[in-house]
Amino acid sequence: MRKIYSSLDEAVRDLYGNERSVARRRRITGGDINEACALALDDGTTLFMKYNSPDAFLNLEAEAIGLTEIAATRTIGAAKLLGLGKDRNCSFLLLEFIAGGRRIEGYWDTFANELASMHKAPVSHPEVGYGFYMDNFIGMRKQINTPHDKWIPFFRDCRLSPQFEAAADYFGLAERRSIEYLLSHLDLYLAEPDLPALLHGDLWAGNHITGNDGKGWLIDPAVYYGHPEVDLAMTELFGGFPNSFYEAYKVILSQSAGL
């Protein structure tokens, strides 16, 4: 992780030189949790800043760690981390500015290929197994990542059980019995992967954008090590991705399996 700055001015000077300063800010809309803006420096450089209250620092720090984890695979585009900081007024995350270019030919095939490459890449902390070396966040909700040796127990203990517990007041006796059965027979529905894969963790359509190179990039991760099918399942939310993406991913899986 990079150093943590005590102010935006300190970050700008450290990253771009003592003579640099912020000339203009332009608010960017679209996020539900954090505020965002484009920062134009006095030399014309543009940065993207995501910011929130000082209390939200851990949320932004977790995002920074997730982006670093994805970048370390060297497989798929992700917003480049520039700086992270907190002062008494706010916490902030500085990223490269993604203007978004014209999509390349075969855009969805390429995105599927690069996502599959990320899923197949060796993880940075293999000793963790399934989970992550720290808890993080999905949205503003804490995401428990306690390491497990096996995928199915991790998914039961750290994903399904916390969700059922949070919604416990909405379940009647019949639903509770069904939940108990599901949690105790999860191996009937899920398969153990061969190895843990790095997951984006929150890969709905809004967390995928067109990068400066015209290819699909990842933003706003909630990373952990798990089964790639989780990322694919998340893409089905809120409209999903086009069929060409799923078809391309299936072809890559078939090729990997030698089929």
Active site residues: 202
3-state per-residue secondary structure call for the chain: CCCEECCHHHHHHHHHCCCCCEEEEEEECCCCCCEEEEEEECCCCEEEEEEECHHHHHHHHHHHHHHHHHHHCCCCEECCEEEEEECCCCEEEEEECCCCCCCCCCHHHHHHHHHHHHHHCCCCCHHHCEECCCCEEECCEEECCCCECCHHHHHHHHHHHHHHHHCHHHCCHHHHHHHHHHHHCHHHCCCCCCCCEEECCCCCHHHEEECCCCCEEECCCCCEEECCHHHHHHCCHHHCCCHHHHHHHHHHHHHHCCC
